[in-house]
């Protein structure tokens, strides 16, 4: 078998959605398992849809995920250039070849003429298709004489080049996920392959490049399956071998109904983009996994499982394990439901496996971003919080009390659990704690218990009064550990000042 070469071929029309990253990853895993190469090619033939920064976004996203391409627009290689706008001359030559061979033709129909046709068809409740059944009634080089065509070309009359699909053929697309998919060529229309602006359309450029770049396998999203028979027909027209295909399943909304879109992410509070993206025109920000606090390792697993699973119990894979285990035959045909809870689960799993030092490092950065200065022992904070969070940023958002005295006291807990004697208990305990020299959690707990015994008080009410005064919350890690971490001065200060604020709330 010749060398495995695959490509990821995005169009720079905006930020890459998770579906694009999944495609890039599957290409990478497939190629690496077989010792092949992965190419990053930028398909920017549609100038109207070009978006500044989109190419850089793709490169940065992949880098963040922790893998890379062997060749491509960002690093060159033997099959460059890797950007279609830099390969215009190549396509012109191949378009001409198809015309010369009678496999494609010039079409001079103006958009007005096409519109008139469409309207006429609609009147008869039919859909207009530029195909074998209509092309003879259009203004193209199949109908016009050679002289007329030459004349129009000489006069620079705008034209497109259309690929001539012969009817009544069965076109077989050999798909590694779906098996042989058969299409009747009579269903296809004569697609434009070259435009009068001197640019090829996606279909021509994509095939010419895949051929010249010696791509052996085309792995891409299911939305391209309807184009596959045209692509196979173009390969045949050139007399080239068609690569093998794999069309990956669509990504579906968490409900499983319909395609996953940016709006689903906004509504469900989860990102559908790897990195944050700011729309230059509207200023709209789309959330990114990176900025939300996901680890790239977790993101990689989330992506890998969108339409594939190893058929074993194992759920967490390193990149090299993914390479070993990935099998394109095991990719599902049916759509892959996006599960935002599972995404969080992955992050949590990776987080608990991180060293405390690494989390401390990230926590420090998170606090600095928030302008929080603190001298408390952050390793102790991390030890208390690690099992309770999904993201490092959750430490601050769910346990702000480590860094600042609470200003909000959970109203439900106050209402239910703050009793008439609670303030007095807190004052008493403050006095008990004041006497402790070695302000450690176990000492605090022992004195607290002793106090309860002496006063013949139950654990619950006293504990919750203390917790509310120190943290403002009804639950959380061991209160004595929290007190040790924030220190004696801060603990006593809160025990003295906060009951009054709670009483205000009660009043
Ligand atoms: N440029 C196409 C896209 O944006 C590539 C499709 C393909 O891989 O053939 O997805």
- Could you tell me which residues are beta bridge partners of residue 277? 286
Q: Which atom of ligand 1 lies nearest, measured to the CA of 219?
A: 8
Residue whose CB lies within 8 A of the most ligand 1 atoms, among 224, 228, 229, 250, for a mutation test: 224
- The C-alpha atoms of residue 234 and residue 194 are separated, in whole angstroms, by 13
- The C-alpha atoms of residue 296 and residue 36 are separated, in whole angstroms, by 24
* Chain segment 432-453, per-residue pLDDT in tens: 999 999 999 999 999 999 999 9
Using an 8 Å Cβ cutoff, are 83 and 213 in contact?
no
* Chain segment 132-159, per-residue pLDDT in tens: 999 999 999 999 999 999 999 999 999 9
pLDDT score recorded for residue 2: 84
- 206 touches ligand 1 (CB under 6 Å): yes
Query: pLDDT category, 506, cuts 50, 70, 90?
Result: confident
- Rounded to 5 degrees, what angle do the CA atoms 304, 354, 476 make? 110
Q: Examine the residue annotation and report whether 259 is marked as an active-site residue of this protein.
A: no
More confident residue, 503 or 245: 245
- 10 touches ligand 1 (CB under 6 Å): yes
pLDDT score recorded for residue 114: 96
Going by CA atoms, what residue is nearest to atom 10 of ligand 1?
10
- 220 touches ligand 1 (CB under 6 Å): yes
- The C-alpha atoms of residue 53 and residue 232 are separated, in whole angstroms, by 33
- 240 touches ligand 1 (CB under 6 Å): no
Q: Which atom of ligand 1 lies nearest, measured to the CA of 8?
A: 8
Indicate whether 1 pLDDT > 70. no
Using an 8 Å Cβ cutoff, are 27 and 219 in contact?
yes
Indicate whether 64 pLDDT > 70. yes
Region 292-317: mean pLDDT is 96
Going by CA atoms, what residue is nearest to atom 3 of ligand 1?
10
Query: pTM for the complete prediction?
Result: 0.93
Average predicted confidence (pLDDT) for the chain: 96
**Which is the catalytic residue, given 83, 129, 262, 488?**
262
* Chain segment 368-421, per-residue pLDDT in tens: 999 999 999 999 999 999 999 999 999 999 999 999 999 999 999 999 999 999
Residue with tokens 């004569």: 190
CA distances from 5 to 11, 83, 243, 246, 411 (A): 19, 17, 10, 14, 61
Indicate whether 255 pLDDT > 90. yes
Phi and psi torsions of 286, nearest 5°: -105, 130
In percent, the amount of the chain with pLDDT more than 70 equals: 100
* Chain segment 320-349, per-residue pLDDT in tens: 999 999 999 999 999 999 999 999 999 999
Indicate whether 205 pLDDT > 90. yes
Region 73-80: mean pLDDT is 97
Q: Which atom of ligand 1 lies nearest, measured to the CA of 227?
A: 9
- Rounded to 5 degrees, what angle do the CA atoms 194, 21, 331 make? 95
pLDDT score recorded for residue 198: 86
pLDDT score recorded for residue 125: 96
Indicate whether 505 pLDDT > 90. no
CA 115 to ligand 1 centroid distance, Å = 28
CA distances from 113 to 22, 105, 117, 133, 160 (A): 42, 18, 6, 17, 14
Q: Which atom of ligand 1 lies nearest, measured to the CA of 23?
A: 8
The span from the first CA to the last CA of the chain, in angstroms, equals: 81
Residue with tokens 């013949």: 456
Query: pLDDT category, 267, cuts 50, 70, 90?
Result: confident
Region 30-35: mean pLDDT is 98
Sheet architecture: strand order including 5-8: 71-72, 37-40, 5-8, 217-221, 244-248, 170-175, 179-184
Going by CA atoms, what residue is nearest to atom 5 of ligand 1?
9
Residue whose CB lies within 8 A of the most ligand 1 atoms, among 18, 220, 222, for a mutation test: 220
- The C-alpha atoms of residue 169 and residue 24 are separated, in whole angstroms, by 33
């Amino acid at each position: 078998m010749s060398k495995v070469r695959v490509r990821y071929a995005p169009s720079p029309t905006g930020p890459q959605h998770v579906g694009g990253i999944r495609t890039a990853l599957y290409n990478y895993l497939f190629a690496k398992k077989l010792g092949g190469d992965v190419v990053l090619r930028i398909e920017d033939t549609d100038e109207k849809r070009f978006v500044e920064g989109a190419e850089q976004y793709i490169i940065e996203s992949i880098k963040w995920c922790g893998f890379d391409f062997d060749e491509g627009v960002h690093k060159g290689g033997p099959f460059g250039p890797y950007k279609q706008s830099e390969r215009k001359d190549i396509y012109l030559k191949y378009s001409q070849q198809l015309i010369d061979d009678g496999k494609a033709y010039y079409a001079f129909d103006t958009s007005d003429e096409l519109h008139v046709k469409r309207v006429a068809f609609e009147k008869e409740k039919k859909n207009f298709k530029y195909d074998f059944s209509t092309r003879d009634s259009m203004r193209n080089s199949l109908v016009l004489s050679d002289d007329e065509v030459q004349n129009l070309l000489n006069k620079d009359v705008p034209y497109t080049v259309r690929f001539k699909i012969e009817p009544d053929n069965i076109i077989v697309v050999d798909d590694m996920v779906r098996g042989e998919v058969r299409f009747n060529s009579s269903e296809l229309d004569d697609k434009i392959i070259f435009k009068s602006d001197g640019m090829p359309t996606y279909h021509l450029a994509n095939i010419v490049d895949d051929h010249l770049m010696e791509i052996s396998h085309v792995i891409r999203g299911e939305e391209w399956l309807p184009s596959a028979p045209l692509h196979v027909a173009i390969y045949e027209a050139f007399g080239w071998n068609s690569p093998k295909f794999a069309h990956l399943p669509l990504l579906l909304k968490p409900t499983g109904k319909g395609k996953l879109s940016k709006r689903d992410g906004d509504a469900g509070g989860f990102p559908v983009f790897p990195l944050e993206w700011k729309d230059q025109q509207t200023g709209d920000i789309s959330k990114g996994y990176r900025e939300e606090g996901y680890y790239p390792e977790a993101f990689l697993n989330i992506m890998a499982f969108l339409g594939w699973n190893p058929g074993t119990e194992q759920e967490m894979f390193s990149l090299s394990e993914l390479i070993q285990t990935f099998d394109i035959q095991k990719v599902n045909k049916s759509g892959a439901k996006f599960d935002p809870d599972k995404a969080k689960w992955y992050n949590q799993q990776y987080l608990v496996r991180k060293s405390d030092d690494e989390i401390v490092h990230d926590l420090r950065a998170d606090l600095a971003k928030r302008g929080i200065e603190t001298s408390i022992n952050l390793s102790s904070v991390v030890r208390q919080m690690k099992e309770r969070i999904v993201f490092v940023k959750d430490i601050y958002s769910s346990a702000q009390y480590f860094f600042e005295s609470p200003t909000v006291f959970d109203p439900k807990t106050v209402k239910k659990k703050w009793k008439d004697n609670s303030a007095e208990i807190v004052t008493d305990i403050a006095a008990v704690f004041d006497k402790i020299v070695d302000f450690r959690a176990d000492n605090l707990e022992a004195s607290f218990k002793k106090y309860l015994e002496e006063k013949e008080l139950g654990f619950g009410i006293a504990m919750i009064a203390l917790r509310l005064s120190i943290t403002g919350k009804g639950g959380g890690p061991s209160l004595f550990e929290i007190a040790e971490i924030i220190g004696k001065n801060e603990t006593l200060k809160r025990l003295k000042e906060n009951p009054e604020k709670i009483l205000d709330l009660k009043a």
